[in-house]
Structure 1
Amino acid sequence: MKSTFFVFVFTLLAYLQAPAQTSKVISGSTDFSVKFILGTCNGTFDAPKGTANFDPNNLNASAFNLTVATNSFKTNSNGRDKDMKSDSYFDVAKYPEIRFKSSKIEKKGDKYQAIGSLTIKDVTKPVTLPFQAKKNADGSYSLNSTFEINRLDYKVGESNWKLKDVVTVTMKAVIK
């Protein structure tokens, strides 16, 4: 009886001290669009990187800590891309990442929302990012989020009649 008790206690302690399983972003994309005087500028950043734990049955254990590399900015215009990477916009030499870190995940109807902080350049602001989640056959999750941000709130460029302030961002990630 004593040995069974010790095995139980040892197993319980080992389980409690084991690190939590962390999901990683295994693929994805980060697209954006912003209207300007000649139409709409569409572009991409590389896929988000970082950790993304999502369990629809335990949202308290779900969390996102994601980064996007600012130097991966592409619009299919070398001149525009170079300008956007300069200190006038993203200042990629000084600020190599855009970061989102969640503080809470909630369900809203048939969708979810990640509440947390978004950091671009040296500005961090609270945001709520809506997202959809779909479980794949292999156990991974496909997450999709479309949201708008005001680029001026994050010191990305200056107010300009040629370029709108609001940017639409679409992030897609597969986590496992």
Structure 2
Amino acid sequence: MRITSGTLLGALLAVAVAASAAPLRTDPANSAVNVEFKQMGVTARAAFKKFAARIDYDPAKPEASRASMEIDTASLDVGEAELTREVAKKEWFNSAQYPKATFVSSSIKPAGPGKLNVTGKLSIKGKTGDVSFPLTVKNEAGKQIFEGALPIRRLAYNIGEGEWKDTSMVADEVTIRFRIAATQ
């Protein structure tokens, strides 16, 4: 049997494609992205209703994993219609000019069983910053569940301009909490 370089190359490409991890499919119905902050000293929570996550994860090679997320800033629901409209305005998310907030990982490293450390770039309202956060991974009802909490300072991303820079009304510290359910 004669093997040509074209045959060998084709076989190697087929093996490489089969060995690469396919992106997981996210399950929006079982996923959530929320924010937690203090308003006048009282903890408040709100939920983003529209977001998309892309996760390329291989538990055998977590260092080769990648993740990204895109959040529709106008989809933040603070529980009251008037306030929900307010946070989309220029002083807060300026959703007309900056409709998406994004995260793109640059490094994912194992940190123990079911734990990862994630580093990447977070972009909100035209500002980009380096962020790092712990992430847990577990299997639940046939799905992989990725859960984490990312603390940020809202003023670093110009969230709350003008009179809203005053942190006595709304604290600078905000925690983005997420739970992403995904399958093969």
Alignment of 1:153-164 (within 5 A): 153-158=156-161, 159-160=165-166, 161-164=168-171
In 2, Cα distance between equivalents of 1:147 and 1:65: 14
Alignment deviations for residues 108-151 of structure 1 (CA, whole Å, 9 cap, x no partner): 2342121100000100000002110012453x310001121100
Query: What secondary structure is seen at the aligned counterpart in 2 of 1:165?
Result: strand
Residue 121 of structure 1: aligned partner:
125
Is 1:131 the counterpart of 2:135 in the alignment? yes
Deviation at 1:77, TM superposition (A): 1.3
TM-score (normalizing by structure 2): 0.85
Residue 11 of structure 1: aligned partner:
11
Is 1:149 the counterpart of 2:156 in the alignment? no
Paired letter, 1:77: E
After superposition, the CA RMSD in angstroms is 2.3
Change (3 A) 1:101 1:5: closer
In 2, Cα distance between equivalents of 1:91 and 1:127: 22
Residue 166 of structure 1: aligned partner:
173
Q: Where do 5+ consecutive residues of structure 2 fail to align?
A: none
Runs of 4 or more off by more than 4 Å in structure 1? 3-9, 17-20
Deviation at 1:26, TM superposition (A): 2.0
Alignment deviations for residues 39-76 of structure 1 (CA, whole Å, 9 cap, x no partner): 22211002531311112210232000111111111011
Query: What secondary structure is seen at the aligned counterpart in 2 of 1:14?
Result: helix
Percent sequence identity over matched residues? 25
Q: Where do 5+ consecutive residues of structure 1 fail to align?
A: none
Alignment of 1:5-154 (within 5 A): 9-16=9-16, 21-27=22-28, 28-37=31-40, 39-46=42-49, 48-110=51-113, 111-138=115-142, 140-154=143-157
Paired letter, 2:182: I
For these two proteins, the number of residue pairs brought into alignment is: 175
Greater Cα offset, 118-127 or 160-169: 160-169
Greater Cα offset, 123-132 or 56-65: 56-65
Paired letter, 1:12: L
